[in-house]
Amino acid sequence: MTAQPDQRSNASWGGVNLRDPHPIGPALERLPDAPTLAAMRLLVVEDDTGMASLLHRSLVKQGYVTVVANDGTDALWQLMENNFDAVILDAMIPAPNGFEVCRRMRQAGRWAPVLMLTARDGVHDRVAGLDAGADDYLTKPFALAELHARLRSLTRRDARERPVVLQCGDLSLDPVSRLVCRAEESVELSPKEFGLLEELLRHAGEVLTRTHLIEHVWDFAYDGDSNVVDVYIRYLRNKLDRPFGRGSVQTVRGVGYCLVDDRPIYPPDGGPQGT
């Protein structure tokens, strides 16, 4: 099915006048040749036929093998049937939209990095794309050189599986809905408690130092007392361990903390010793 031209498109993209009857050739002549690289397979999801053609031609010139989908249904079929090294995904495509396509591909265990394109410049829409599972975004109009650079950055990253819902035993955390559950019971956490638990879950079974936790949950510029980590660990234990008879958050003395898949080790409302 041929997609209708997108009336939202600007007249110029990456220095290309799309109203010109032959806009793509001259623009591509201005692009630098691609470095020698192993062929990488990309999925481009874009309903604007002019933009889709421009992206396809520019990416082929950069050495990528490119497949184009014009709507959400075709995009999901391609993603479920084929493997891609990266996905360029327009947010405002015919249903399902780009946010939903990204969410479904992540739920299906498809972890190719996603670069989301959007004509919207509102913070809410950028956050929605990232929360749906996108790795990066570009707001239209953009320069082709920047798109190529962002793709190179994304495809250099570790492509290992990243679960949508983080889980350790009967403790789970959903980064999108920000829902935390213990034994299928919802638990309310403060933003900082949530961030600390998320970092522990992403490294379940690993010992994390106080310095690591401060840098990843607070920030590099934090210069307060490192005991703040101990305080928030105690908060997590009071909400997630003691009421459920668990001891998931373990202290490794002299080193830091470790989140483990535990079994009940003390009666409800009791608790481990230490902070």
* Per-residue pLDDT at 38: 46
pLDDT value at 218 more than 80: no
Taking the C-alpha atoms of residue 262 and residue 199, their distance in angstroms, rounded to an integer, is 18
Q: Which residue ranges make up each domain of the chain?
A: 12-156, 166-259
Q: Between residues 240 and 163, which one has the greater pLDDT?
A: 240
Instruction: Give per-residue pLDDT as tens, 224-252.
Output: 666 889 999 999 999 999 999 989 999 99
What pLDDT is attached to residue 108? 85
Q: Which of 10-19, 56-65, 88-97, 184-193 shows the lowest per-residue confidence on average (mean pLDDT)?
A: 10-19
For residue range 30-39, list pLDDT tens digits in order. 444 444 344 6
Which pLDDT does position 26 carry in this prediction? 44
Would the pTM count as exceeding 0.85? Answer: no
- Per-residue exposure over 206-240, b if at least 16 CB sit within 10 Å of its own CB, e if not: eebebebbbebbbeeeeeeeeebbeebbebbbebb
Selection from 164, 74, 73, 131 nearest residue 116 by Cα: 131
Question: Taking 70 as the threshold, does the pLDDT of residue 190 lie above it?
Answer: yes
Decide if 12-156 and 166-259 have a common fold. Answer: no
Residue 154 has pLDDT above 90, yes or no: no
For position 62, what pLDDT does the model report? 86
Tell me the C-alpha distance between 26 and 263, whole Å.
65
The correct CATH number of 12-156 out of 3.40.50.2300, 3.40.50.300, 3.30.70.2190, 1.20.1050.10 is 3.40.50.2300
Phi, psi dihedral angles at 255 (to 5 degrees): -125, -65
Within 51-203, strands assigned E span: 65-69, 86-90, 114-118, 136-139, 166-168, 171-174, 179-182, 185-186
Is the pLDDT at 173 greater than 60? The verdict is yes
pLDDT band at 158 (very low <50, low <70, confident <90, very high): low
- What is the model's pLDDT at position 219? 58
User: In DSSP terms, which residues pair with 208 in a beta bridge?
Assistant: 257
Its CATH architecture, for the domain 166-259, is Orthogonal Bundle (1.10)
Mean pLDDT taken over the chain: 79
